[in-house]
């Protein structure tokens, strides 16, 4: 082992010397760092350093010895431990949805001032669901269902929570579908076009999905930087590509996004890649241009194969709340949206928007974003989401 290391070091040293020769001509003067620091130091600095040493040592000796009580030790251990990978999906989902579920559970507490379920309580419940971003239609539907067998009867907070969770789960169940990337013609990549407004989380979601495909589904993936509008957007996708170890096809800023998609498809096919994910721009301020751009990408892809793109993902930012509804409508007019990814569910109180979206559009929800990091994309489970949202602990 030691021998191998030594050999490797010799090889490295020789390489360094060769590199050095390329950088410096033989007649370059030798520049050596000075090691005689003390000689260069003035007396004043030397004295100052010595004094500082003494002061530091003095303070150290004066500092109190920590008291070791069992509680203090436990707290210290807790503070220092790394919780980032603990607990699995459910606990990360629950903690991500804390703000949304707090809003609902606190609201329920305020509503339940009396025991019997009357009209006023039902109206308050509907208002609560609307303010939790479920949207008026979905809120009305859930409340109506809830009141059916319970009107005029005693209800408890736990009963309401459970009933709400069940109604929500029933709405979510048909749309909770993981993204299946296996439908492509043999020898051709499965093509996923990713769209959404600027800042929704498209590029991040592409990175997260690619990571999951490579790591867990053992797929070979290629990315295409179809957001050619901003330099930063292309760079950001390249960084994700490096992180997840897959190639990224990119052109210059201002390049035709459809040309990027076309070239990427050709490359992915020639390379025998399983999946191609195409990033796009999201300039909704200029709807006409965006629509033309997306339509052109789709047109160019369809010339290769009528089934392309196999999936069109719309990425929605949960923090935009009710705005997400109009985003779905707008993008559905532009492209044939086949599924949704809802991002930024961590740290927003607007998580209920997902229930409304599922109810109104019935589009598959493939995954949800619960953080900015590479593995913060959770597979979407209807029951877990509904339970977490209304604070029901499933036992």
Ligand X SMILES: Nc1nc2c(ncn2[C@@H]2O[C@H](COP(=O)(O)OP(=O)(O)O)[C@@H](O)[C@H]2O)c(=O)[nH]1
Pick 297 or 392: Cβ nearer Mg ion:
297
Least separation, in Å, of the C-beta of 168 and Mg ion? 31
Give the interface with ligand X as residue ranges (CB under 6 A).
196, 198-204, 236, 282, 315, 343-344, 346-347, 369-372, 376
Smallest gap from residue 203 Cβ to Mg ion (A) = 3
Neighbour-count burial of 151, counting CB atoms closer than 10 A to its CB (0-12 exposed, 13-18 middle, 19+ buried) = middle
Q: Choose between 30 and 285: whose C-beta lies nearer to Mg ion.
A: 285
201 binds, among Mg ion, ligand X, none (CB under 5 to 8 A by kind): ligand X
Q: Which residue has the tokens 């030691």?
A: 2
365, 176 Cβ separation under 8 angstroms: yes
Local structure of 222: helix, strand or coil: strand
Identity of the residue, 377 or 392, whose beta carbon is nearer to Mg ion in the bound complex: 377
> According to the binding rule CB under 5 A, does residue 315 interact with Mg ion?
no
CB atoms within 10 A of CB 318: 28
Taking the complex as a whole, how short is the minimal distance between the CB of residue 202 and Mg ion, in angstroms?
5
The two three-digit tokens of residue 157, written as one number = 């907070």
Segment near Mg ion (CB under 5 A); pick from 40-48, 62-70, 195-203, 247-255: 195-203
Least distance in Å: CB of 341 to ligand X?
A: 9
CA distance 301 to 147: 50
In angstroms, rounded to a whole number, what is the distance separating the alpha carbons of residues 390 and 122? Answer: 17
Q: Hey, which residues between 330 and 359 contact Mg ion (CB under 5 A)?
A: none
278 forms part of the interface with Mg ion (CB under 5 A): no
Which residue's CB is nearer to ligand X, number 261 or number 315? Answer: 315
Q: Does 233 bind Mg ion (CB under 5 A)?
A: yes
Q: Choosing among ligand X, Mg ion, none, which partner's interface includes residue 198 (Cβ < 5 to 8 Å by kind)?
A: ligand X
Residue with CB nearest ligand X?
A: 369
Name which of ligand X, Mg ion, none residue 103 binds, using a CB cut-off of 5 to 8 Å depending on partner kind: none
Q: d(Cα 376, Cα 369) in Å, to the nearest integer? A: 6
Nearer to Mg ion (CB atom), residue 104 or residue 337:
337
The reply to whether 203 sits near Mg ion by the rule CB under 5 A is yes
Beta bridge partners of 311: 192
**229 CB neighbour count, 10 Å cutoff:** 21
**Minimum CB separation from Mg ion for residue 364, in Å?**
22
Of 350, 392, 393, the closest CA to residue 161 belongs to 392
The DSSP bridge pattern shows strands 377-379 and 365-369 to be antiparallel
Residue 260, interface with Mg ion (CB under 5 A)? no
DSSP 379: E
In sequence order, what are the beta bridge partners of 368? Answer: 342, 378
Among candidates 302, 309, 305, which has minimal Cα distance to 275?
309
Which is nearer to ligand X, 254 or 272 (by Cβ)?
Answer: 254
- CB closer to Mg ion out of 240 and 325: 240
Shortest distance in whole angstroms from residue 127 CB to ligand X: 28
CA-closest candidate to residue 367, choices 310, 311, 313: 313
Nearest-approach distance from CB 332 to ligand X, in angstroms: 18
346: Cβ contacts below 8 Å, ≥ 6 apart: 95, 96, 97, 369, 370, 371, 376
List interacting residues with Mg ion (CB under 5 A).
Answer: 202-203, 233
């Amino acid at each position: 082992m030691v021998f191998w290391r030594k050999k490797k070091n010799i090889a490295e040293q020789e390489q360094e010397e060769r590199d050095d020769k390329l950088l410096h001509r033989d007649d370059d003067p030798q520049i050596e760092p000075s090691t005689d620091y003390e000689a260069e130091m003035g007396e004043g600095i030397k004295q100052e350093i010595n004094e500082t040493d003494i002061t530091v040592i003095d303070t150290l000796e004066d500092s109190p010895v920590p008291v070791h009580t069992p509680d203090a030790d436990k707290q210290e251990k807790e503070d220092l431990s790394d919780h980032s990978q603990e607990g699995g999906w459910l606990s990360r989902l629950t903690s991500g949805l804390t703000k949304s579920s707090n809003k609902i559970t606190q609201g329920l507490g305020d509503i339940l001032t009396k025991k019997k379920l009357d009209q006023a309580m039902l109206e308050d419940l509907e208002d609560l669901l609307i303010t939790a971003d479920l949207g008026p239609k979905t809120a009305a539907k859930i409340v109506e269902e809830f009141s059916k067998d319970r009107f005029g009867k005693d209800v408890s907070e736990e009963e309401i929570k459970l009933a709400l969770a069940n109604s929500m789960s029933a709405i979510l169940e048909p749309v909770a579908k993981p993204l299946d990337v296996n439908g492509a013609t043999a020898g051709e990549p499965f093509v996923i076009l990713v769209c959404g407004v600027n800042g929704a989380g498209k590029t991040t979601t592409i990175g997260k999905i690619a990571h999951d495909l490579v790591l867990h589904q053992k797929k070979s993936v290629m990315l295409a930087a179809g957001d050619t509008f901003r330099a930063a957007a292309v760079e950001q996708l390249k960084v994700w590509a490096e992180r997840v170890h897959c190639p990224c096809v990119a052109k210059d800023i201002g390049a035709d996004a459809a040309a990027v998609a076309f070239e990427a498809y050709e490359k992915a096919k020639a390379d025998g890649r399983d999946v191609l994910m195409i990033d796009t721009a999201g300039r909704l301020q200029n709807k006409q241009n965006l629509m033309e751009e997306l339509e052109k990408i789709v047109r160019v892809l369809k010339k290769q194969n009528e089934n392309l793109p196999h999936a069109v993902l719309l990425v929605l930012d949960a923090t935009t709340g009710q705005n997400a509804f109009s985003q779905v409508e707008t993008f559905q007019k532009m492209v044939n949206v086949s599924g949704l990814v809802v991002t930024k569910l961590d740290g927003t109180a607007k998580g209920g928007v997902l229930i409304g979206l599922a109810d109104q559009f019935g589009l598959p929800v493939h995954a949800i974003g619960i953080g900015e990091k590479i593995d913060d994309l959770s597979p979407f489970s209807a029951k877990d989401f509904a339970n977490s949202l209304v604070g029901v602990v499933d036992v």
